[in-house]
A and B are shown apart, each in its own frame.
Chain A
Amino acid sequence: MIRLLVNGVMREVPEPWAGESLLTVLREWLGLVGAKEGCGAGDCGACVVHVAGRPRRACLVPARAVAGEAILTIEGLAGPDGALHPLQAAWIAEGVAQCGFCQAGHVMQAAALLAANPDPDPSAITAALGRMLCRCGTQPRMHRAIRRAATALRAGEVP
């Protein structure tokens, strides 16, 4: 058995689930299915969550390796009152999503970028999304949404 600190709540994970990947535990044991498994190999980024504030590909992280660390998933990104993170609001305003499968991973990757760099230029955005995949081709709108959210954040919106 291990304990995972997910979205501010300590959760117990029994065997055999404790031996699975972080992504599998989040999705299949805890029911937090926002992060998706697109490839299982770290190639696509649909499974990105934050571990100790850094974006990680949850499909490659053994759950046991992050026991006790602060894990943030897309389900915990909005405020406790349900107020959307500026990135989530920007994503809706720019109409980014098509099929939607990869979007939670992209939003989490972008949230880590904005936490580190509140005013990313296009090349910083490109670098942050560099190894992420969206087959629908929403990259043009993701660029716009990230810039929109960065502006909102700098204007004082609370993440």
Chain B
Amino acid sequence: MRLPRRRLLRLAGWAAAGLTVAWALPRPALPILPSTAAPGADEGVAWLQLLPDGRLSLMAPLHELGQGSAAGLAQIAAEELNLALEAVDLRSPATAALPRMRFTTGSQGIALHAAPVARAAAALREALRARAAQRLGLPEAALAEVAGGFAAPDGRRLTYAALAAGVPVLLAPGRLAEARLHSFDPRRVKRQVGQPAPLPEARAIVTGMALFTADLRLPGMAYGRCVPPPLAQARLMAVETGPAARLPGVLQVVVDAPRGLVGVVAETPGTLDRAMAALRVTWDRPAPIDAAALARRLDVDHALGQGRLAHRILDEQPAPGAWDIDLRLDLPALHHAAQEPRAALARFGTQDGAETVEVWTGTQDLFVNHRKLAAELGLPEARVMLHGRRVGGAFGGRAQYDVVREAALLARAAGRPVKVVWSRADEFRADRARPPSSHRIRARADATGRLSDWWHAWVTGPVLLTEMLGPPWLVGAARLALADFGATRGILPPYAAPRRRIEMTDVDLPVPTGPWRGLGAGPNTLAIEVAMEALALRLGRDPVAFRLAHLGPGAARLAACLARARDLAAAVTLPPVPGFGRGHACGTYHETSHVACAADVAVDPATRAIRVLRFCCALDIGLAVNPDRVRAQIEGCVMMAIGQLLREEARIDAGGYAARRFADYPMAGPSDVPAIEIALLGDAVTPPAGAGEVALIAAVPALVNAVRDATGHAATRLPIRPADLPDAIPSPAARTP
């Protein structure tokens, strides 16, 4: 609704004098949940069509965030159809052109879609073969597959373009005929799958032609932005619109009190920035955050002092008595800090006299945005069209419904297309960061030196049981009944131990939190691997051998990774002088992705500055569809791990997250680049598993263990600052476990 330029609008509760609620808020009967459904085996037919010119159109059912999964699916389709990768047109998903697709999370893009894409592409190939056989008057079996078509024994060739005969070829939905899959055939000499193909968009990216959401423009478009509420449930109390509304170039100040929405629409981005700075908005935000109370709430020992924790995940009754190790590890909140600020462009129109809306955005979950927007606007889903765009980094932070809502509501209020791009300050302020966590791990070995008892207790903020899941009442009920299944990811150690107790409490935090690359598997594997290192050292054992001795037959692939990472690292001998150290760690993500890392660090004895020299990583994800993209993911994880070791920490002050610009949240940069060696151990027959997050879970503990090896410092928190390290760096010979 458009507001008169009143000086100060006080909103007592939901309404105020002079302000009427123009429409009742549509409330969906049921909460709209994230798009978790995995694709069916035969669903791939909806994603592929052969174009009249013999090229293949692939609308990959996932969002491209930089992980390269869509490119991997293009390689699979090309393998099945004997096409060059350049003959595949890779298109971004759109709600009007695709059945509801799963959200792009959890490194599942290739793992869940490789087989359906291969099945559909192979079925398309066989349908084309049948068409060719009919055309040539030959049995199908007589036709050989050649690049982009088929060849008869007499040398006649039919290309896909000739077979298409000017009409696109699609398969009918339904059950696919069984066709031989090339992509996973170990005997086939593959041209695409398993090859290090460049990203299809690589040239566009380096020439400035790759279009992200904020790169789009529409005729008559204006620029909008909203004031982010300090918390999801915060209510609007007062808005001072006058100074902003009076600025030349400001088209509209939009105040939608029932929705808690305050925004500005302006002619240019610079005007918008000035108007946003002039707005004064008051929320009914609770009292400023009490740092001491927050620290106490997140203190695992404080929680243990109150008795058992809220959720016992496992209790095999550890024996009472003294522990060989009893350590505490506190991990900070982490920002996603994706470089592309979230953005959406919305345009309303009419179709047959009825309102329609189109929105372009980069997200990890196009379809949840689609349904939520249709519900919010009171429009049938068929009149709401969302177009997915390439995402400039996500890391778990781009599955929300926020910027789409803002762009649509501002565009509707302004009566013209509106592009919303968040400010960097808002990106930090409203980030659903990785929650801080606090871990207590106790472990004991028996008389034979084997791990016998294990007790991991931790306190964390919520990861998945958040407002993303539904209204507060539902989330509250879920959190009483369930341990947050995002926070518990990776909590079961791969090591054999007869008596384990694993328990956690998920606490409410005064700041938003959510999924972050690897979810709980990052902090949990870190705690596990730091504890295993400490226990091995305490027992006077080699930490790698100690781990290997506790990896049973079910963990053979993980053990192979650990042995390989150790061997890669061992090819270089560390100088026998103070300050050099090597650490190892390993872990399994989603049960099918296995990784081990070895890190070499050097600590300057004078400044105690930590430098990461070298990183060795062995990864087994089964078939690596594009080994080069898998390596790129590992390298990215290594850089992110170095940032976690040395710098990353989302500080919380009285008003919430304190960072407002990148300079407030230092990360790893070009001066931190170590030598990196990578071994991919997967074979060609094991179905491909995820690669986007797995290396991070072992990379951070390998670094922490390397710092311990170099300095003797047993970290109790991250990041590790020079001041945390001992004044005197011990010589290697003097290091004692």
* A residues apposed to B, CB below 8 Å: 16-17, 19-21, 24, 27-28, 31-41, 43-44, 46, 73-75, 77-78, 84, 87-88, 91-92, 95, 97-104, 107, 125-126, 129-130, 132-143
Contact = CB atoms under 8 A, between A and B. Distances in A.
A95 B202 contact: yes
B38 to A, nearest CB: 24
Interface string B56-74: 0000000001111000000
Given A35-B208, A136-B66, A46 B673 contact: no
Contact of B341 (A37, A84, A139): A37
Nearest to A39: B424
A101 B215 CA distance: 11
A37 B635 contact: no
Closest 8 CB pairs of A and B: A34-B208, A99-B66, A137-B639, A101-B392, A137-B636, A98-B66, A33-B215, A100-B205
Interface stretch (B262-270, B286-294, B593-601): B262-270
6 contacts: A41-B661, A74-B207, A84-B203, A99-B66, A135-B640, A143-B673
Interface of B: 65-68, 196, 198-199, 201-203, 205-212, 214-215, 217, 248-249, 267-271, 273, 337-341, 390-395, 421, 423-424, 628-629, 632-633, 635-640, 661-663, 667-673, 676
B639 A91 contact: no
A87 B269 CA distance: 32
Contact of B662 (A28, A37, A39, A84): A39
Given A99-B65, A143-B673, A39 B208 contact: no
B199 A133 contact: no
Contact of B661 (A17, A27, A39, A78): A39
Given A73-B208, A137-B635, A24 B640 contact: no
A39 B639 CA distance: 20
A60 B327 CA distance: 48
A32 B633 CA distance: 29
B206 A33 contact: no
Given A40-B423, A43-B662, A99-B340, A139 B673 contact: yes
B637 A130 contact: no
Given A28-B269, A43-B662, A135-B338, A143 B670 contact: yes
B339 A102 contact: yes
B680 to A, nearest CB: 15
Contacts of B424: 38-41, 43
A157 to B, nearest CB: 16
Contacts of A78: 207
Most buried by A among B202, B205, B210, B668: B205
Contacts of A44: 339, 662
Given A34-B209, A99-B393, A142-B670, 4 more contacts: A100-B205, A135-B337, A136-B393, A140-B676
Contacts of B68: 98
